[in-house]
């Protein structure tokens, strides 16, 4: 079928990745977006996006886009793009259940000549080793004879209004040269920044997974340096600003490393490495450092409280921010929960305030009930965990007013000058 002009596209999964993709394709092609969450379909049909990635007016521009929660509605499509998440389980092992479920759904409606494209981040080889056999089993069709596959990894940056789907260069690949050309031509229709066609699906998978692994290792280095500089009595941000005066110094900052990419993708790569008998050291060392930052932050705050003769048990702690990054409602794999749990282990009383989050989602995902507003003069310690613009706009005096006299104010994200807070990373 390799003619992009005849594409009828089905998008499987309408989250942070799938919806922007569906909207762009829906401006040019007959496109049907599938999500198993009926409430999500209802809100999109009503013209709103709770992830805040797509504005209502942009949704309206996708004249050929429709939504459904019924997989059977996709039968008229001939291109299926899977955008479901690939999380890790509690043991940091890849959890392929969303991808297996989506592949099963697509396999049951796959027809001769169809193309299945995956955007989910996985280890090199996963598309052809995990997903394609499911497509074959469910459809009864033969791979690269009756149907074809492609891989084009997502590069969405939640909350980023500058780097959007269409302005980020897209990696593409296909299971045969003809399929690769078709996938590349299809994405070129909507990606104004252009595409980069990889020589194979495995190369494209590897390219994606190391993008975030590289960032994870670099942030781990800066986190370790922050711990060192704290012991030396040196302000980390001041050091980084000084080093940043050289043109090729990389501008990473310390902090909590969460989200659905940086804190997850390295585990896919290390899983595959160990499966083939290679034991990665640097990647896992970076993961250990970054996964321990929540406990380290609490240790720093507890030390400051002890220096002021403040008991941690039954102390009232305010954590400002719950999302994994600033100015977006995304709670996926947020490591702020590590800070919450660590304080609860000290038997402190913890309030979480975040004007961006959906309280029902926070309760469902983490058992956390965010407060509507923090009470002035109520807290023994305040931790600025996420750099939401609302917190910066509050100013240091209003933040201080939330605490009791002598309360500890710890700034994880360098929102305020070092001289105005009691501690920073």
CA-based max dimension of the chain: 73
The neighbouring-strand residues paired with 80 are 10, 116
261 is known as an active-site residue: yes
What does the pLDDT read at residue 1?
A: 58
Q: What is the DSSP string of 113-157?
A: T-EEEE-S---TTHIIIIIHHHHHHHH-PPBTTTBEEEE------
Residue among 181, 200, 202 nearest 129 (CA): 202
**CA 65 distance to own-chain centroid:** 25
Q: Tally helices (H) and strands (E) across the chain.
A: 15, 13
Angle, nearest 10°, between helix axes 336-345 and 293-307?
Answer: 50
In 302-378, the DSSP E strands lie at 316-320, 349-353
Q: Taking the alpha carbons of 142, 146, 151, 156 in that order, is the dihedral positive or negative?
A: negative
Tokens representing 219? 């942030």
Tens-level pLDDT at each residue, the chain (425 residues)? 578 899 999 999 999 999 999 999 999 999 999 999 999 999 999 999 998 899 999 999 999 999 999 999 999 999 999 999 999 988 889 999 999 999 999 999 999 999 999 999 999 999 999 999 999 999 999 999 999 999 999 998 877 778 889 999 999 999 999 999 999 999 999 999 999 999 999 999 999 999 999 999 999 999 999 999 999 999 999 999 999 999 999 999 999 998 878 888 999 999 999 999 999 999 999 999 999 999 999 999 999 999 999 999 999 999 999 999 999 999 999 999 999 999 999 999 999 999 999 999 999 999 999 999 999 999 999 999 999 999 999 999 999 999 999 999 999 999 999 999 999 99
Name the DSSP letter for residue 5: G
d(CA 319, CA 315): 13
The neighbouring-strand residues paired with 149 are 116
d(CA 119, CA 159): 19
What does the pLDDT read at residue 163?
A: 85
Q: What is the DSSP string of 348-404?
A: -EEEEE-TTS-HHHHHHHHS----SSPPTT-EEEEEE-S--HHHHHHHHHHHHHTEE
Q: Check: CB of residue 110 under 8 Å from CB of residue 145.
A: no
d(CA 174, CA 226): 43
Q: Taking the alpha carbons of 359, 361, 362, 368 in that order, is the dihedral positive or negative?
A: positive
Q: Check: CB of residue 127 under 8 Å from CB of residue 153.
A: no
The neighbouring-strand residues paired with 195 are 170
Q: Check: CB of residue 258 under 8 Å from CB of residue 293.
A: no
Tokens representing 375? 């009470």
Tokens representing 93? 């092992």
Q: Check: CB of residue 362 under 8 Å from CB of residue 369.
A: yes
Helix spans in 233-323 (H): 236-243, 265-275, 282-291, 293-307
Residue among 240, 252, 404, 413 nearest 321 (CA): 413
Give the count of alpha carbons within 13 A of 221, CB side only.
11
Look-up of token digits 């990389």: 250
């Amino acid at each position: 079928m390799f003619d992009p002009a005849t594409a009828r596209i089905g998008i499987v999964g309408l989250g942070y990745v799938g919806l922007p993709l569906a909207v762009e394709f829906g401006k040019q092609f007959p496109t049907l977006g599938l999500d198993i969450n009926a409430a999500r379909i209802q809100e999109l049909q009503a013209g709103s996006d709770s992830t805040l990635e797509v504005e209502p007016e942009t949704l309206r521009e996708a004249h050929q886009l429709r939504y459904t929660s019924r997989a059977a509605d996709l039968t008229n499509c001939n291109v299926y793009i899977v955008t479901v998440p690939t999380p890790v389980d509690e043991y940091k092992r890849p959890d392929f259940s969303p991808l297996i479920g989506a592949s099963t759904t697509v396999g049951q409606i796959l027809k001769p000549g169809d193309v299945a494209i995956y955007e989910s981040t996985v280890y090199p080889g996963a598309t052809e080793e995990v997903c394609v056999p499911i497509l074959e089993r469910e459809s009864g069709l033969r791979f690269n004879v009756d149907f074809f596959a492609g891989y084009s990894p997502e590069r969405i940056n939640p909350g980023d209004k500058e780097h959007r789907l269409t302005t980020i260069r897209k990696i593409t690949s296909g299971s045969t040269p003809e399929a690769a050309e078709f996938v590349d031509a299809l994405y070129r229709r909507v990606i104004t920044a252009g595409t980069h066609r990889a020589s194979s699906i495995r190369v494209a998978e590897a390219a994606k997974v190391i993008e975030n692994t590289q960032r994870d290792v670099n942030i781990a280095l800066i986190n370790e340096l922050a711990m060192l500089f704290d012991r030396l009595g040196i302000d980390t941000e001041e050091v980084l600003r000084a080093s940043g005066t050289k043109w090729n110094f990389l501008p990473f900052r310390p902090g909590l490393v969460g989200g659905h990419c940086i804190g997850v993708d390295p585990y896919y790569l290390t899983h595959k490495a160990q499966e083939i008998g290679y034991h990665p050291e640097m990647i896992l060392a970076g993961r250990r450092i970054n996964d321990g930052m929540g406990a380290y932050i609490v240790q720093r705050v507890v030390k400051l409280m002890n220096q002021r003769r403040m008991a941690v048990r039954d102390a009232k702690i305010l954590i400002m921010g719950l999302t994994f990054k600033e100015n977006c409602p995304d709670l996926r794999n947020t490591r702020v929960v590590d800070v919450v749990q660590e304080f609860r282990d000290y038997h402190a009383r913890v309030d979480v305030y975040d004007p961006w989050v959906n309280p029902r989602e926070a309760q469902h995902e983490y058992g956390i009930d965010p407060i509507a507003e923090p009470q002035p003069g109520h807290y023994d310690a305040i931790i600025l965990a996420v750099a939401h613009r609302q917190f910066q706009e509050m100013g240091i005096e209003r933040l201080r007013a939330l605490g009791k006299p002598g309360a500890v104010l710890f700034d994880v994200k360098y929102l305020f000058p070092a001289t105005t807070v009691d501690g920073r990373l």
